[in-house]
Structure 1
Amino acid sequence: MSSPTSPTAPIGVGFIGLSASGGWAARAHLPALAAVPGYEVRALSASSPASAKAAGEKYDIPLAFGSAEELVRCDEVDLVVVTVKVPHHRELVLAALEAGKMVFSEWPLGNGLAEAEELAAVAEAKGIRTFVGLQARSAPPVRYVRDLIADGYVGEVLSTSLIASGLGWGAEFAPGGEYLLDRANGATLLTIPFGHTIDAVTMALGEFTGLEATLATRRPQVRNAATGQLVPMTAPDQVAVSGVLEGGAVASVHFRGGASRATNFHWEINGTDGDLLLTGGSGHLQFGQVTVHGAQGEDTELKELPVPSSYSSVVRLATSGTEVWYPVAHAYDQIRADLAAGTHHAPDFAHAARRHRLLDRVERAAASS
């Protein structure tokens, strides 16, 4: 397994999917890595030598390869970060694993459960450390709420209700976002915002022991915001899941495509001794842009509960804590700590496969309802 040469050596990062034209890797991963000590971005690969050269020059990355195969064989790379579209995850992650490299894959890990389980099995068989981009669980507000619940702030959790908007999968889509509309591509309202958010919900409150679900595509045609052209959408724009969590709490979760004029993120946790509420502007909890409110005991009005500074470990860059890369930085911070201490707190491919199994349960429950 490739690893830094010593416990204090920086982790050499190589990107598959960092483009000169921008995208999630440039928007989130690069500033996150800049904020966390112990990493060096050393390499990238692109679909052609020319596009790799352009990205390398733009981001000042010394090694720019025209193929992923060259990158995964590079001795300077310890950790391969895969940030391409979901249908390409399997082939690129497998290439990195075959080369013996540690891998950080964006979420979803695979296009469906079978791919996720295959990748998790290969990583386990080879004994390679892996990580998956389920960074909502790393966001300071989410970790704070998890600890409040564990410490008894609400007493016994009786129920939880969550309603959220996906922003995407609405009446219009932005240019370049058409691939998200096709359910077969595995990048949907269910797998992305619902998947990220439900991972955080289950971290705080426990897994589903039973569930019922409804998936629907209420807008079978949506409009290209730039051209006005109508195109088909087969991905669901309504995801409704209800069930019982470990410990007996009743859960109700509803994600809607697009944005609402009323509520775009409202997560309520009700207990015998108190209540918690998280609010925000979208259902993408992985961005970490939420405010925590609570009340307990004799209090009858919710009040804001500022997240203690101890939950914000990333201080290398000036930040308001609301940037979309902030939870990603905390995820990288946990990965670095795990590799240094030999621990396994950051979500890995085995965890990703478990989360894919929950999404598969939702799909099967919806199909049978």
Structure 2
Amino acid sequence: MAPIRVGLIGLSKTGWAPIAHLPYLKATDKFEIVAVQNSSVESARNAIKLHGLSESTKAYGSSEDLANDPNVDLVVCSTRVDRHKECIVPSLKAGKDVYVEWPLGKSLADAEEISSFKKQDLAIVGLQGRQAPIIATVKDFIASGKLGDVISSTWTGYGGMGGDVAQEEYAYFADKSVGGSLLTIHSGHALDWVQKALGSTFESTKTHALLANRRPIVKLTKADGTVISDKHPKTNDDTIFVHGSLASSVPVQFTMHGGPPFKGNPALDWRILGSKGELRVTASGVFLQIGYPDQKIEFFDASADQVTEVSVQTDKWDETLAQPAGNVARVYELIAGDAEARKSLCSFEDAIERHRFLESLEG
């Protein structure tokens, strides 16, 4: 079977595309990168050379030119969220399949506008935490009955970003108008896989939130720590409290803090209380869709008064690819599969519902 021909938007020297998308795309025979689009043709050519792609790979500096390439089957967009619309709408209009990173748009209205141009069945958004083995393990453990009936769940995380210091490279993260924030990205990913693991979605009428920007002025620094400004404005919220009930009636409390965790404590502490004990998931970061070497699941068996570690499921991608690329690889494998397999992916329609829920939390 001929490989699916990929046009990749946003292949820079560093960032998400080279560490998460490229490892799988260069290793598989199910896909082939035939084009790269960056901010300019020169930038795209440099990326092609830097990452050792074929000399036949086309270099584009505009989304329209990429959309007009008849040799591109699937357009993959890995750019800042406020650039998603300009990058993928031409390909949507052209009827090409599209895979774009989460969030779909910089707002609900933006996401709805992007989706309005969709003509094809395969238009998906990268909420790849759904494919993470650690989430599958939690879901299967609950289904096994060892936890008993799920009583409640509490999730506490520290986003790293959103604290009192912002690095120049991520200065846009302080600007609410861009659309990338602790709410949309950190919480958006986490709330999606929490709901998937627990097997039910939040009931909007029984969910409430308190959001606050407690650090309206932050320090802006270079990557090496050199201070650029002591008074950089921040308009995004850095404190997110959500509590509500799932459709299954399970109460959930979700708390996201900006900045680092208490020294020596995990950045993520997720508990699922059951009638027979409690499941605890910990990690040094909140992005389980990326993965961490120290991520861990533990089970407290109340009747035995004993804590044991739960083995996380693994597959070949855990053995062949570094953690940032593993779950993205699983997304690509589903894209290359049949229509039934693709149902577990996040469609544009599904993403809009996620956007709608997040905006409802802002009141």
What's the TM-score once normalised by structure 2's chain length?
0.91
Structure-to-structure mapping, 1:57-76, within 5 angstroms:
57-61=49-53, 62-76=57-71
What do you get for the CA RMSD once the two structures are aligned? Answer: 1.8
Does 1:284 pair with 2:287?
A: yes
Q: Which amino acid aligns with 1:149?
A: I
What is the Cα deviation at residue 37 of structure 1? Answer: 4.5
Aligned equivalent of 1:219, options 215, 218, 222: 215
Q: Residue in 2 aligned with 1:4?
A: none
Q: Residue in 2 aligned with 1:301?
A: 306
Q: Residue in 2 aligned with 1:186?
A: 179
Unpaired runs of at least 5, structure 2:
none
Does 1:40 pair with 2:26?
A: no
Aligned equivalent of 1:103, options 95, 98, 105: 98
Counterpart-to-counterpart distance in 2, 1:151 and 1:96: 44
Counterpart-to-counterpart distance in 2, 1:46 and 1:111: 20
DSSP 3-state at the match of 2:6: strand
What is the Cα deviation at residue 60 of structure 1? Answer: 3.0
Q: Residue in 2 aligned with 1:318?
A: 320
What is the Cα deviation at residue 240 of structure 1? Answer: 0.7
Tell me if structure 1 keeps the 8 A contact 2:334–2:341. Answer: no
Structure-to-structure mapping, 1:64-143, within 5 angstroms:
64-123=59-118, 126-143=119-136
Tell me if structure 2 keeps the 8 A contact 1:193–1:284. Answer: yes
Alpha-carbon displacement from aligned partner over 1:291-324 (angstroms, at most 9, x marks no partner): 1111346232221111133xx2526x634x6x22
Counterpart-to-counterpart distance in 2, 1:67 and 1:135: 27
Alpha-carbon displacement from aligned partner over 1:32-69 (angstroms, at most 9, x marks no partner): 33355411111101111211111111123321112221
Q: Which amino acid aligns with 2:77?
A: V
What is the Cα deviation at residue 273 of structure 1? Answer: 2.2
What's the TM-score once normalised by structure 1's chain length?
0.89
Counterpart-to-counterpart distance in 2, 1:342 and 1:208: 24
Aligned equivalent of 1:270, options 251, 269, 273: 273
What is the Cα deviation at residue 24 of structure 1? Answer: 1.1
Unpaired runs of at least 5, structure 1:
1-7, 365-369
Q: Residue in 2 aligned with 1:53?
A: 45
Counterpart-to-counterpart distance in 1, 2:25 and 2:113: 28
Q: Residue in 1 aligned with 2:335?
A: 335
Counterpart-to-counterpart distance in 2, 1:359 and 1:26: 29
Counterpart-to-counterpart distance in 1, 2:147 and 2:256: 25
Counterpart-to-counterpart distance in 1, 2:338 and 2:192: 20
Task: Figure out how many residues of one structure are paired with residues of the other and give that number.
Answer: 348
DSSP 3-state at the match of 1:285: coil
Q: Residue in 1 aligned with 2:343?
A: 344
Q: Residue in 1 aligned with 2:354?
A: 355
Counterpart-to-counterpart distance in 2, 1:303 and 1:245: 28
Percent of pairs identical after alignment?
36
Q: Which amino acid aligns with 2:352?
A: A
Q: Residue in 2 aligned with 1:201?
A: 194
DSSP 3-state at the match of 2:352: helix
